[in-house]
Structure formats: C-alpha cells, structure tokens
C-alpha cells in the first residue's frame, strides 16, 4: 500500500490501535474475495449507460497541485490533521464531501495548515465493500480524493446494485486512474488486508456510523463532533485547533 506510516491516533482515553482482529480480518477477506471481481438516488445518480461520470472537471480543479500520498492529502508537516472515516454509499458522507471538502481544501489544505486523511470503510453492505476496495486501489495510484469525490457526486441509492464494474470503471477513469490497474489492484491480498486493518482501526476507535471525524495536532487526535455538514461547523473547530487551542 502506498501510504505513509500511521501516527498513533488517540481519541480521549481510547487509542486507534490495530489489535488482534483475526476474526474481522478473515470475514473481510472472504467477503472481498467474493464480491470484488463483480466489480431513489442520494446524489445526482449514477451515469446512464454510455455516459461519463458527472463532476470530473470540477473535481480535478479542486485537487490540482496538491500532493496526495495514498490516503492522505496535503503537506505532511501541516500543524493539524483531520481524519475522516467514511462509507462511499453514505448520503451524509456525500453531504460532507460536497459541502465541506472544497472549503477545507481551499482554506486549510492548500496553505499547508491541514493534512487530510480519508479512511473509506464498508458499513452499508456489499456495494460499500466493492467501493472501498476500489478506493484502496485509487490510493495506490494517489487518486483517492478524486475517486471518492466523483463517487459521491454520482452516488446512487444504497445497495441498489448500482456499484457495478462499469460504474467503478467510469469513476476511476474520470478520476484520472489507470482503470485496468485499479481493477487488478482491487482484488489483491494486500488490498484486502488494508481494508481489514482500516475496519479494525475504526472498530477499535468506536466508529459505528459515517462520517466520523478525528482531529488534532501531531500524533494526538480526538473525536470531532459537528452539528451539521456545513463548512461553518468545521472551520470554527479547525481555526481553534490550528491556532493551538
């Protein structure tokens, strides 16, 4: 997996540490083996047959020139970090991605004040797991944020079967990925293990809904609660955090 070493995240007295989890690992590995090869709307809806994914130009503009590394975006020396656990099928994650992420990128990430870490997990079913596997593949190409943003922009109804191989290929292509490589990578044992690790870290941190946020300075991250998926709830907390509060 092409990603930097993970800091020792902390949430109050709870740490986000990988611990054991053999049963969870086995369950996820089996599930991904079964479904990855298969490759009412919450968003604009999936593209129709023969149509390209919506939002490609805007997504590419948003992230242009920002150094991504695996699951992270922004300057690794940024004073603050925001970690997001999300599910690609989750409509609330879509709200966050479309309403808040552009502000975070322009106000904090581009100036080097904030480093984003995106952890896509699968809470909502098989379609989420297929999407999460391709998200891991996108991270290997340093295109995770483009892939996730376009997935949310074209999100369909939960577990309606829209997350097909064709849909994933369209999202990956619009994100600027090597689609054939992504398709191969999504089924790799290393990707399955990465999914299992992320799932176990989320479980250890008490993540049982998406999106869930953790923010902090250095290696000390704590749960971040927001009242709505609008920029204001995030900017107030992040301004204090970056100022050292």
With a cut of 80, say whether residue 24 has pLDDT above it: no
Mean pLDDT of 197-222: 92
Give the pLDDT band of residue 4 (cuts 50, 70, 90): very low
Q: What is the pLDDT of residue 50?
A: 78
Task: Extract the tokens encoding 50.
Answer: 């023969």
Q: What is the pLDDT of residue 45?
A: 87
Cα within 13 Å of Cα(58), Cβ side: 11
Element (H, E) at 213: strand 212-217
Give the pLDDT band of residue 223 (cuts 50, 70, 90): very high
SS3 228: coil
**In this predicted model, what pLDDT tens digit does every residue of 119-154 receive, in sequence order?**
999 999 999 999 999 999 999 999 999 999 999 999
With a cut of 50, say whether residue 114 has pLDDT above it: yes
Mean pLDDT of 199-226: 92
Q: Give me the percent of the chain exceeding a pLDDT of 70.
A: 82
Distance between CA atoms of 213 and 84, rounded to whole angstroms? 5
Distance between CA atoms of 104 and 117, rounded to whole angstroms? 12
Give the pLDDT band of residue 43 (cuts 50, 70, 90): low
**In this predicted model, what pLDDT tens digit does every residue of 158-177 receive, in sequence order?**
999 999 999 999 999 999 99
**Mean pLDDT across the chain, nearest whole number?**
84
Element (H, E) at 22: helix 22-35
Is the backbone of residue 142 left (phi > 0), alpha (psi -120 to 50) or beta? left
With a cut of 60, say whether residue 36 has pLDDT above it: no
Q: What is the pLDDT of residue 186?
A: 96
Place of tokens 């990603």: 3
Q: What is the pLDDT of residue 219?
A: 79
Q: Find out whether 125 and 187 touch, Cβ atoms under 8 Å.
A: no
Q: What is the pLDDT of residue 7?
A: 42
Q: Find out whether 84 and 211 touch, Cβ atoms under 8 Å.
A: yes
Please give the CATH architecture assigned to the domain spanning 10-242: 3-Layer(aba) Sandwich (3.40)
Neighbours of 11 (CB within 10 A): 20
Mean pLDDT of 59-64: 96
Q: What is the pTM for the complete model shown?
A: 0.83
SS3 91: helix
Could you state, in order of their start, the residue ranges of all structural domains in the chain? Answer: 10-242
Q: Find out whether 3 and 70 touch, Cβ atoms under 8 Å.
A: yes
**Beta strand pairing call for 68-69 and 72-73:** antiparallel
Q: Please, what's the b/e burial string for 37-63 (b: 16 or more CB within 10 A of its CB; e: otherwise)?
A: eebeebbbebbeeeeebbbbeebeebb
120 vs 16, more confident:
120
| pLDDT winner (highest mean) among 17-31, 102-116, 209-223 | 102-116
With a cut of 80, say whether residue 34 has pLDDT above it: no
Q: What is the pLDDT of residue 242?
A: 92
Q: Find out whether 61 and 55 touch, Cβ atoms under 8 Å.
A: no
Question: In sequence order, what are the beta bridge partners of 91?
Answer: none
Mean pLDDT of 196-206: 93
Question: In sequence order, what are the beta bridge partners of 11?
Answer: 14
């Amino acid at each position: 997996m092409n990603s930097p070493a993970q800091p020792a995240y902390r949430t109050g007295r709870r740490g986000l540490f990988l611990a054991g989890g053999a049963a969870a690992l086995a369950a996820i590995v089996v599930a991904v083996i079964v479904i990855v090869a298969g490759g009412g709307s919450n968003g604009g809806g999936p593209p129709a047959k023969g149509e390209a994914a919506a939002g490609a130009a805007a997504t590419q503009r948003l992230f242009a020139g920002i150094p991504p590394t695996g699951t992270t975006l922004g300057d690794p020396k940024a004073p603050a970090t925001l970690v997001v656990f999300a599910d690609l099928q989750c409509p609330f994650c879509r709200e966050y991605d479309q309403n808040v992420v552009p502000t975070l990128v322009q106000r904090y990430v581009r100036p080097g004040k904030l480093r984003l870490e995106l952890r896509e997990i699968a809470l909502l079913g098989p379609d989420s797991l297929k999407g999460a596997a391709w998200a891991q593949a996108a991270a290997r190409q340093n295109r995770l944020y483009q892939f996730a943003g376009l997935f949310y922009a074209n999100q369909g109804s939960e577990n309606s079967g829209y997350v097909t191989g064709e849909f994933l290929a369209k999202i990956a292509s619009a994100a600027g990925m090597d689609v054939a490589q992504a398709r191969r990578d999504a089924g790799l044992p290393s990707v399955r293990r990465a999914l299992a690790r992320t799932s176990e870290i989320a479980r250890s941190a008490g993540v049982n809904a998406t999106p869930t946020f953790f923010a902090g300075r250095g290696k000390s991250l704590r749960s971040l609660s927001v009242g709505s998926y609008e920029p204001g709830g995030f900017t107030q907390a992040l301004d204090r955090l970056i100022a050292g509060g």
